[in-house]
Structure 1
């Protein structure tokens, strides 16, 4: 359980936090460190980010927040998410997200910052943040779906299937779940076969011309989450979720 790193030319970072891969605050930092370790290895030419279990990622562990006094768990989770999302984006080699089942909340932050996304045929993407009394990762959802759909998904908390993202060109392909990891490794191997110096330069250049500063944009969103917690709306929404209401 936790985060596993398999090193090599195609490194694999695997998330496993049963039952639904809702990461505790420290889990996000563990994920960021694993990605950093992979990035620091000169042998690494591409990274596959995947998960074991029922889905790719259900976001933060809300129950951890509700059983912790004060705001420390919330602050730790927000810092952890920011660190993990940045580790994906700033990885000096391409990151391929292999998404299965649900990709929600913080999962969208990871997938949206990846260079490529391959999904299983049961994968869905969504931001339930409004129902949880929080905001965030619309920055990353905007990299996966058109603007008006992003707004609809934020306001309604609806999910969108991976097959729709293929139409938008933001998911490379949809494959059966049993072939997901192999499909991600196949694309990663294609990239790893290129000149690594050129690929790293390509990643740096593409980040340099990105029209959105994803770190600053996400931090702006987080500010509203803090505001919702100060006025009590965040805690009320999280408690409704914990109580199943």
Structure 2
């Protein structure tokens, strides 16, 4: 089954932080890469809370946002409440969209295929709803894991091995697409990076609540033991929970035609 982020919708934006200026730069880049304008119709597949749908709509693009999580879509609706942005939202499974055949100029799939067991079917659906000359944009978020987050996994080692993601990562996806006769171009995104300060207390809280889906599989007793040791490590290395970590993020974009 696809992963549903209902349980972490309240913490999603803060735990996958994307500064507004970075989001706008990424949207402008995607518009240029796919030659989007006010007449273009984009499907934001797994739109979540709108990290990409909102800035694309601000650039005048017509967006249909699809997600399996009703609570994530509710967060996006609340952001849209005071705007007239051209975004329509639909709750749907990416492997069975229920959308019109060949309707979209672009399908955007941002950091989602690694979470979908039947990711090949999700891609088939994307191509089904694309116009004959449409473009598929695959965005993969990179970086952003803090030293505290990393140390959680170090403490976990030897106690529990988290299963690999149910879906696929960029290289495996690219290989599959090329076997289908598709052209996969990796775009130059070196300029699309960002930096932010993450509160230490917030990172510890997010780990405690397991807002990252890979941690959902860790048994409760193992998780509780690791968190106890992690808190002691944080206090020993940072002195308190009151400080900040400086984190960096970036994206990789595959343009598929």
Q: Same fold (TM over 0.5)?
A: no
Higher Cα Rg: structure 1 or 2?
Answer: 2
Q: Please, what TM-score do these two structures have when normalized by structure 1?
A: 0.27
Q: Please, what TM-score do these two structures have when normalized by structure 2?
A: 0.26
